[in-house]
Structure 1
Amino acid sequence: MNKKLFVTGIGTGIGKTIVSAILTEALQADYWKPVQSGDLDRSDSELVKSLTSGNIIIHQERYQLELAASPHQSAKKENIEIKLTDFSLPVTSNHLIVEGAGGLFVPLNEKDFMLDVIQHLNLHAVVVSTNYLGCINHTLLTIEALKNRGILIDLFVFNGEFDEDTHQIILKHLPEDIEKIYLPKIHLLTKENLQKIAVTIRKKYI
């Protein structure tokens, strides 16, 4: 059965796109970023395309917004109304990796959040966490929010190095049946290095 996974994170700039690229390569999946807000000339879709195999299918974003800001703010500036009902999964017979914008409570409009997109599309989640002051709080809030919506977490990604105390407290509060993935810090981000990690992930976890 094909996997359709939504990659979210505990905040912005914590490695969702790189994790999405690794999972896309490991699964030989399609990739879709529903909302790109800012950086249209060097989008997340373009980055994933540059780091993965040539046969990977990258689906068009539903919304491409020019301002590098929260989607609701970017859309408002362009007189665009983002509607939850506008989001539907791309038609594919492959695995599919869907990447969110920012964290779960990034607003799309005055009432809907990125969290609502996951629920609307009926997807399981991949949660990406990285180590910084406050990451425990942000991680546990993310897990609790998904749990409260009845959204299942398929994978939890420890992205980079964690001190042992932080690692253990997060582990203690993760459901035991969630698969955990440990990704090393990528010092030189190249296609070759990412694909080596993807091979390891494929062998160990998939």
Structure 2
Amino acid sequence: MYICGIHTDAGKSHLGVALCKAFGFSYFKLIQAGKERDADIIKKYSSNTKIYDDGMFLYTPASPHFAMKNDEIYYSMDDIKVPNDNNLIIELAGGIYCPIDENNTMLDFMKKNKKDVILASRYYLGSINHTILTIKALQENGLNIVCVVMIGEIIPSTDEFIKEYTNVNLAHLEYFNENNIEEKIKKFKKEIEKYLH
């Protein structure tokens, strides 16, 4: 299953922690650009999670198509191999149109390697637009959206508009830290588990 976001810093890794900790998923980062690895966040908060090596590691914290040139690491989308694990969360990089190499985007990879999708979104001015655009692009390309996870303090009017306009499932994940993670993830699990079965 893919975790994708409406943009960079939408909360994909935060969501990855919650899914791995609540349901025992394994974790795989498709492309890591920058030395601060998202896998380390998973390891910090969900120490029992099986974490695979990144599909591609780039040193430059930038769009992969730029980072690969800057780092002089040349690859194509098809060089990235997903682990053979039926209980796997695959966290993408950036938004769905983030370049994966010089010719393809994250969406192109998803279209070629079809799996269900959980979309990470959050609340800010403009997020309704970004969320609906991403939902429509995923649907138009034949990808099944399990649900959209809205991250942060709930704004009911935002939820209502997205749900009414797109007819997708919505769940919520509050921000957590080391002190309240068990409580927040228990609440999240109760809300999202009906969409995962």
TM-score by length of 2: 0.90
Choose the corresponding residue for 1:130, options 101, 118, 122.
122
Is residue 22–residue 195 contact of structure 1 (8 Å, CA) maintained in 2? Answer: no
What SS does the corresponding residue of 2:119 show, helix, strand or coil? strand
Q: In structure 2, give the amino acid aligned to 1:10.
A: I
User: How far apart, CA to CA, are the structure 1 residues paired with 2:170 and 2:2?
Assistant: 16
Who is 2:11 aligned against? 15
Which runs of 5 or more structure 1 residues have no equivalent in the other structure? none
Structure 2 alignment gaps of length 5 or more: none
Give 3-state SS (helix, strand or coil) of 2:61's partner. coil
Shift of the 78–185 alpha-carbon distance from structure 1 to 2, 3 Å rule, reads: closer
Q: After the TM superposition, which of the residue ranges 23-32 and 73-82 deviates more from structure 2?
A: 73-82
What percent of counterpart residues are identical?
30
Q: Quick one: which of 79, 84, 87 aligns to 1:86?
A: 79
Structure 2 partner of 1:25:
21
Are the equivalent residues in 2 in contact too, given 1:6–1:99 (CA < 8 A)?
yes
Distance 1:82 1:172, change over 3 A: farther
Deviation at 1:66, TM superposition (A): 0.7
Secondary structure of the structure 2 residue equivalent to 1:132: coil
Query: What is the aligned partner in structure 2 of residue 56 from structure 1?
Result: 49
More divergent stretch after superposition (70-79 vs 82-91): 82-91
Which amino acid in 2 is paired with 1:50? K
Q: Deviations over 1:68-118 (max 9, x none)?
A: 10011000112223312122321225x211111110010122320011122
Q: Following the alignment from structure 2 to structure 1, what is the Cα–Cα distance between the partners of residues 43 and 22? A: 14
User: Are 1:180 and 2:174 matched, yes or no?
Assistant: no
Structure 1 residue 33 displacement after superposition:
0.3
Counterpart-to-counterpart distance in 1, 2:96 and 2:130: 10
Question: What secondary structure, in the 3-state scheme, does the structure 2 residue paired with 1:36 have?
Answer: strand
Select the structure with the greater relative contact order (CA < 8 A; seq sep ≥ 6).
1
Change (3 A) 1:133 1:31: same
Amino acid at match of 2:96: L
Q: 1:144 to 1:82 in 2, by over 3 A?
A: farther
Displacement after TM superposition at 1:126 (Å): 0.6
Counterpart of 1:101 in 2: which secondary structure? strand
| Structure 2 equivalent of residue 112 of structure 1 | 104
Alpha carbon RMSD of aligned pairs, Å?
1.7
Instruction: Give the whole-Å Cα distance in 2 for the aligned partners of 1:60 and 1:153.
Output: 26
- 1:12 positional shift: 1.1
Q: Does 1:98 align with 2:94?
A: no
Instruction: Specify the code of the residue in structure 2 equivalent to 1:60.
Output: D
Equivalent residues of 1:11, 1:102 under 8 A apart: yes
Q: Which residue of the partner structure matches residue 40 of structure 2? A: 46
Paired positions, count: 193
Structure-2 separation of matches of 1:22 and 1:179: 17
